[in-house]
């Protein structure tokens, strides 16, 4: 057994700093937890001249060669983000027999398979718990604790920024732009929030979870994504009237004819466990054939929660090194399941419209939905305007392409003045 295990950290932003802090804080604990000392050997940064409070600057370097060519470094902790140069660095590290822990969801969603193959070839660990849901353990439970289950569904709130925005819109009657500005002010949202508010971040995460849960490769390009930028205060009001909340939900289902994977805003009944997940918290709801239902809940981002997940992986690697059993759990995608297109996925829908207020209008709208195999579950006239009326519909489960065909036909009708909102609805809503 090695007396000392040495690690290099790639990146010293928020999460990298958190990792460094935990290693220093837990220094005296590691010999008891992993059977060896754990030491930071090098920290890779872009700018070595930048002042960094609380960091031993003798460890800081801007040279990857210093790390890759140092045979005493056992573990590379990648917290740089992005595809390149992270992909190259991880590939090279694994090829040189160094174990890797990463929080890089973009990279693992697109290139996880090839990196896991390199890890297997060189009998190395490649662990990535922090790539999904921050500090919440979900990847390890899926790969290990729930391995005896056939997982049929994963549904979750896996982007803290959008959940914070929707919480503010719900609790404080904010419009989207107002809630987004607050999220940016408080540091929950980036200056360019596109990846979060348009569902791209959640899309990458659900691709990773679906791949693991269903043992079949799902990439980000397979995921239908729709964000929250079009959600209005009026939509939030309608949700409350239906005893629901609106959440950005990432869903993956294993069905008889393939895998369904998507990210969309959704009306969720207040009785559902995910409805009470607020602010920047994340939660992942899992259904297995033996387990039944389980939910994993906690902080989905932040310096120390994310660093906590990374360090959990680092400790696992250290223990594997100690017992010479690295590379025991690699890629679990041994199936080749088809991934369904969004056109073939069934959903319930909330539709808000402005219609001409005259005889025959509702009948014509109902006929259009019916002609496209879309059944109206509920229909409520909300307000009357001069010459028109606001009418909302709940449409029962129907395939996406049929529903969208109905919407296209309605949009062309002169007595349909406006289709204001289209939001998917959880099946538990009656």
Active-site amino acid positions: 205
- Give the chain's length: 430
Query: Between 86-95 and 105-121, two packed helices, what is the crossing angle to 10 degrees?
Result: 20
Contacts of 136 (CB under 8 A, 6+ apart): 282, 283, 284, 296, 297, 298, 299, 300, 309
SS3 at position 221: helix
Give the chain's end-to-end CA distance (angstroms, integer): 60
Close Cβ partners of 121 (under 8 Å, ≥ 6 residues apart): none
DSSP structure class, residue 136: S
Alpha helices in 48-157 (DSSP H): 64-68, 86-95, 105-121, 139-140
| DSSP output for 292-342 | EEEEEEEE-SSHHHHHHHHHHHHHHHHHHHHTT-TTSS-----B---B--G
d(CA 216, CA 140): 17
Q: Report how far Cα 92 is from the mean position of its chain's Cα atoms.
A: 27
CA dihedral of residues 84, 192, 139, 272 (deg, nearest 10): -160
Spatial distance between the Cα atoms of 7 and 402, rounded to a whole number of angstroms:
54
Q: Is the dihedral of CA 15, 18, 24, 27 positive or negative?
A: negative
How crowded is the C-beta side of 49, counted as CA atoms within 13 Å?
0
Cα distance between residue 263 and residue 251, in whole Å: 6
């Amino acid at each position: 057994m090695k007396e000392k295990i040495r690690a290099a950290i790639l990146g010293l932003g928020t999460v990298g700093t958190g990792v460094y802090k935990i290693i220093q804080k837990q220094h005296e604990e590691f010999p008891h937890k992993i059977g060896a000392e754990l030491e930071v050997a090098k920290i890779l940064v872009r700018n070595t001249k930048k002042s960094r409070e609380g960091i031993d600057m003798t460890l800081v370097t801007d040279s990857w060669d210093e790390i890759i060519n140092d045979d005493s470094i056992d573990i590379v902790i990648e917290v740089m983000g992005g595809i390149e140069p992270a992909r190259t660095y991880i590939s090279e590290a694994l090829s040189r027999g160094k174990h890797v822990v990463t929080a890089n969801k973009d990279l693992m969603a697109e290139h996880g398979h090839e990196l896991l193959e390199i890890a297997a070839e060189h009998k190395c660990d490649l662990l990535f718990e922090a790539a999904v849901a921050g500090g919440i353990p979900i990847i390890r439970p899926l790969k290990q604790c729930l391995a005896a289950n056939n997982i049929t569904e994963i549904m979750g709130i896996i982007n803290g920024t959008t959940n914070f925005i929707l919480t503010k819109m719900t609790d404080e009657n904010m419009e989207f732009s107002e809630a987004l500005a607050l999220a940016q002010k408080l540091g929950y949202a980036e200056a360019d929030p596109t990846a979060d508010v348009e569902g791209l971040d959640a899309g990458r995460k659900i691709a990773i979870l679906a791949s693991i849960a269903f043992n079949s490769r799902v990439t980000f390009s397979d995921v239908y994504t729709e964000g929250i930028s079009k959600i209005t205060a009026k939509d939030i009001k309608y949700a409350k009237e239906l005893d629901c909340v609106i959440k950005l939900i990432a869903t993956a289902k294993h069905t008889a004819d393939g895998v369904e994977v998507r990210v969309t805003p959704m009306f969720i009944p207040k009785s559902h466990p995910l409805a009470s997940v607020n602010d920047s918290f994340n939660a992942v709801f899992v259904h297995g054939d033996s387990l039944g239902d389980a939910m994993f809940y906690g902080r989905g981002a932040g310096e120390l929660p994310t660093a906590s997940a990374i360090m959990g992986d680092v400790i696992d690697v250290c223990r594997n090194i100690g017992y010479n059993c690295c590379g025991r759990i690699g890629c679990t995608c041994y199936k080749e399941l088809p991934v369904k297109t969004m056109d073939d996925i069934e959903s319930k829908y909330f539709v808000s419209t402005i219609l001409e207020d005259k005889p025959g209008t509702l009948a014509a709208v109902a006929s259009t939905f019916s002609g496209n195999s879309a059944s109206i579950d509920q229909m409520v006239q909300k307000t009357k305007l001069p010459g028109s009326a606001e009418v909302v519909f709940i449409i029962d489960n129907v395939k996406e392409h049929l529903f969208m065909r109905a919407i296209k036909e309605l949009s062309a009708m002169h007595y349909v003045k406006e289709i204001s909102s289209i939001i998917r609805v959880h099946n538990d809503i009656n």
